[in-house]
Amino acid sequence: MTETYDLHCHSTASDGALSPTELVRRAHQFGVTSLALTDHDTVAGITEAQTAASATGIKLIPGIELSSSWQNKCFHIVGLGIDPEYPPLREATRNLQIMRTERAEKIAEKLEKKGISGALEAVKKAAGDGMITRSHFADFLLSQFHVSAQQEAFDRYLGAGKAAFVPTTWSELDRVVNWITESGGIAVLAHPLRYNLTASWMKRLLTAFKEVGGLGIEVVTGHYNADEIRRSANYATKFELAGSIGSDFHNPANQWVELGKLAPLPANIKPIWELLGN
Ligand code: AMP
Ligand code: MN
Ligand code: MN
Ligand code: MN
């Protein structure tokens, strides 16, 4: 049987719209046979996803998408095949939840100064027990007609340097990769083209990432076109990294990104799933 992989997606444990169960069912419906749940800075959805996956007959790969800092910039590192019970990883996620709540309070204060009130209550309600992310603020701004699109919320308020931006110091790249690796997982650089790095910065980043134990890079993500896949594949080849594919699915309302609807990994790239034990 041919496998269909989707190794990057989000549930209500972070900024996804679907519960882990709904997400797994949707993945199955769209033909995914191996799904990695990779919520932002949390493993809280994995137990539920695992139960739903067993019932549905698809393979669930425990994952996470950790925010990291390197050279004062934020990079997302996907951990695949992690042990969600690994104590240092658990502790890290507990600290990240506190940090994200404090950050949310500061973002809300900044919005308040711009005459926008009620943000904190709204994002806390929307996130429930899950991680509060800037996506929750974007949804709130949209629902209150302060902006007319998610992107506009980032462009005007939430993006780096904008009115309600709160600079965050995430854990350093080496620490983040260590949490993943020591819990038995594989560290993958998420959506490499999203950081807008020059070729020389990309070289420095990937060299540093490999030095600390990074093994993979996302070559295909939900919305990459052929040229972007080619560019990412070139980085995989040049830096001898395995290639991953993942939709980065958040919400069924986004018609451009769907679970499992991904271009194949280019044939010359070593698939990351060859590194994942069964
Ligand atoms: P955070 O981790 O709280 O900083 O939130 C980051 C999340 O916000 C990302 O995972 C995306 O889901 C979303 N996001 C970040 N930048 C944008 C953007 N420019 N447009 C839409 N969504 C974005
Ligand atoms: Mn997100
Ligand atoms: Mn990301
Ligand atoms: Mn993501």
Q: Which residues line ligand 1 at a C-beta cut-off of 6 Å?
A: 15, 40, 67, 133-135, 150-151, 154, 250
Is 115 part of a structural domain of the chain? no
Is 156 part of a structural domain of the chain? no
pTM (two decimals) = 0.97
Is 39 part of a structural domain of the chain? yes
Judged against a pLDDT cut of 90, whether residue 277 lies above it is answered with: no
Mean per-residue pLDDT, 93-122: 98
Is 77 part of a structural domain of the chain? yes
> What per-residue confidence (pLDDT) applies to 222?
85
Return the number of other C-beta atoms located less than 10 Å from residue 103's C-beta.
16
CATH number for the domain including 269?
Answer: 3.20.20.140
For residue 68, the surrounding DSSP H or E stretch is strand 59-70
SS3 243: strand
Q: What's the mean pLDDT when you consider all of the chain?
A: 97
| Two structure tokens written together for 90 | 């658990």
> What per-residue confidence (pLDDT) applies to 278?
61
The domain tally of the chain equals: 1
Is 109 part of a structural domain of the chain? no
> What per-residue confidence (pLDDT) applies to 1?
66
Secondary structure of 69-116 in HEC code, one letter for each residue: EECCEEEEEEEECCCCCCHHHHHHHHHHHHHHHHHHHHHHHHHHHCCC
Please tell me the distance from the alpha carbon of residue 271 to that of residue 274, in angstroms, as a whole number: 6
CA-wise closest residue to 8 among 44, 48, 53, 40: 40
Mean per-residue pLDDT, 117-131: 97
Is 162 part of a structural domain of the chain? no
Backbone phi and psi for residue 21, each to the nearest 5 degrees, phi listed first: -65, -50
Is 47 part of a structural domain of the chain? yes
Is 243 part of a structural domain of the chain? yes
Q: How far is the CA of 194 from the centre of ligand 4 (A)?
A: 11
> What per-residue confidence (pLDDT) applies to 2?
86
pLDDT tens sequence across 199-251: 999 999 999 999 999 999 999 998 789 999 999 999 999 999 999 999 999 99
Residue of the CA atom closest to atom 16 of ligand 1: 154
Mean per-residue pLDDT, 100-127: 98
Domain range enclosing 60: 5-91+169-276
